[in-house]
Amino acid sequence: MERLEKQVVGYTSVCHGLVHVLELTYGAVLISIAREFGVSLFVLGILANILGFAFGAMSLPTGFLADRKSERNLLILCCLGMGAASIVIGLSSNIYILGIGLLALGSALGIYHPAAATFISRVVAQRSLGFGYQGVGGNIGLALGPILAGIIAAFLDWRAAYLIFAVPAWLLAAVFFFTMRDDKPTVIQLATGESGEVEASWRPVIIPLVLICTAQVMNGFIYRGLVTFLPLYLSQRVSITILNFDPVLVAGSFTTVALIFGVGGQFLGGYLSEHRRPDTIAFVLALLAVPLLLAMGSSYGLTLIMAAAGFAFFHFMTQPTYNSLIANYTPAQWRGRMFGIYFFATYGGGSFSASILGYVADRLGTNWVFILSAGFGLVVILCTLVLFVRALRRP
């Protein structure tokens, strides 16, 4: 990779990790928030819905801006916003201010994905591998976020987690400002396929893009339920105590064990998408997800941890795979806008599952979060099956 390519992949990967640390902090400290404010899982699910919808909604304007403005500047704004919103959450005195802080945090987090994905797709020649490395950074954040937040919450309190995480957010903003040049990067013309992507006609790619976005709404439903309720679910069903530590810390530790497997999944997904058809990979991954979700909804103890780890590995393989699909199907000059729509489908559309699954968890039990998610996975299978069949017809 050239120097600029390495900078873009390296810095966006670190930022990706911090984005998901902050995103998962809420689920990791959910027990402490419920204890302090005395609210139900349904209300906490609505707050997660606010965070998730803002996360997704901000993708739309960011995607349009990414086609016109410096992605570096958008990422600086993302980091500054993450820090400011974390301070608001850490100092919240009631559930309403907490909701405002989560809304601001979701809006700041939502800047990241379309800006970073557009940056990588335009600058990095081996973009699927670039997406894979970026995904590794995100999954390290996903894996470490619950245990870091759990440790801080156990030894200090849940507010301290947000206040502490504001510091690296602002430091990263300074890194982007002082170390990366400000000009709009030049789109790299790839050896194959790029000339076709520049064509103005959307007719050949509308159906695949609709299928990809529909599948991602369902994947977003699954993802939001996973990151919101998995720490709580593991604390209920894994009866292992560690030196009499706080249950928030224990739940965060088990969640980290499960999600760390997603790191390998991200890299493998990027590697395979560089060498195989992403349409085929997406279909195979959809087939694997449903039985693992059903296993999570019906198991306890070590079996549950193993099922969660397996699901995390294959689920997070989808991220570089779907990013590659969007980049492959979208004309280059529209890629930022399409990434905005795509991440809105993922995080905005998917955010509503937090409220739906919170209601289901209150009425039927937390295990039904994962059983119902398996139903969402059936829709993903259908969408990716059509993509797979269409791909077989292409040379």
Question: What are 194-246's pLDDT values in tens digits?
Answer: 444 444 556 677 888 889 989 988 988 888 787 778 877 877 777 655 555 55
With a pLDDT cut of 70, the percent of the chain lying above it is 88
Residue whose tokens read 């990434």 = 339
Quickly state the pLDDT bin for 78 (edges 50, 70, 90). Answer: very high
pLDDT at 87: 95
As a residue count, the chain comes to 395
88: Cβ contacts below 8 Å, ≥ 6 apart: 97, 100, 101, 104, 105
pLDDT at 249: 57
Reading phi first (left if > 0) and then psi (alpha if -120 to 50, else beta), residue 185 is in beta
pLDDT at 195: 45
Q: Is the pLDDT of residue 188 over 50?
A: no
Provide the mean pLDDT of the chain: 81
pLDDT at 395: 58
Say which residue, 227 or 368, is predicted with more confidence: 368
pLDDT at 248: 54
Q: Is the pLDDT of residue 15 over 80?
A: yes
The string of DSSP codes covering 162-207 is HHHHHHHHHHHHHHHHHHS--SPPPPP--SSSHHHHT-S--GGGHH
Mean pLDDT of 92-121: 89
Class of domain 3-392: mainly alpha
363: Cβ contacts below 8 Å, ≥ 6 apart: none
Q: Is the pLDDT of residue 102 over 60?
A: yes
Q: Where are the domains of the chain?
A: 3-392
Least reliable range by pLDDT among 81-90, 248-257, 288-297: 248-257
Q: Is the pLDDT of residue 353 over 50?
A: yes
Instruction: Please give the angle made by the CA atoms of 124, 126 and 129, to the nearest 5 degrees.
Output: 105
Residue 241, judged by CB atoms within 10 A of its CB (0-12, 13-18, 19+), counts as: exposed
CA separation for the pair 141, 21 (Å, rounded): 5
Quickly state the pLDDT bin for 189 (edges 50, 70, 90). Answer: very low
pLDDT at 178: 85
Query: Hey, what are 195's tokens?
Result: 């000339």
pLDDT at 197: 45
pLDDT at 292: 93
With a pLDDT cut of 90, the percent of the chain lying above it is 20
Beta carbons of 135 and 84 less than 8 angstroms apart: no
Say which residue, 203 or 321, is predicted with more confidence: 321
Q: Is the pLDDT of residue 186 over 60?
A: no
Q: How many CB atoms lie within 10 A of CB 92?
A: 19
Q: What is the pLDDT of residues 295-309, one digit of tens each?
A: 998 888 788 888 888
pLDDT at 323: 83
Per DSSP, helices labelled H in the chain are: 3-28, 30-37, 41-57, 59-66, 71-90, 95-123, 127-155, 158-179, 194-197, 206-237, 247-259, 261-275, 278-298, 301-329, 335-343, 352-364, 367-392
Mean pLDDT of 249-269: 72
pTM above 0.75, yes or no: no
Q: Is the pLDDT of residue 381 over 90?
A: yes
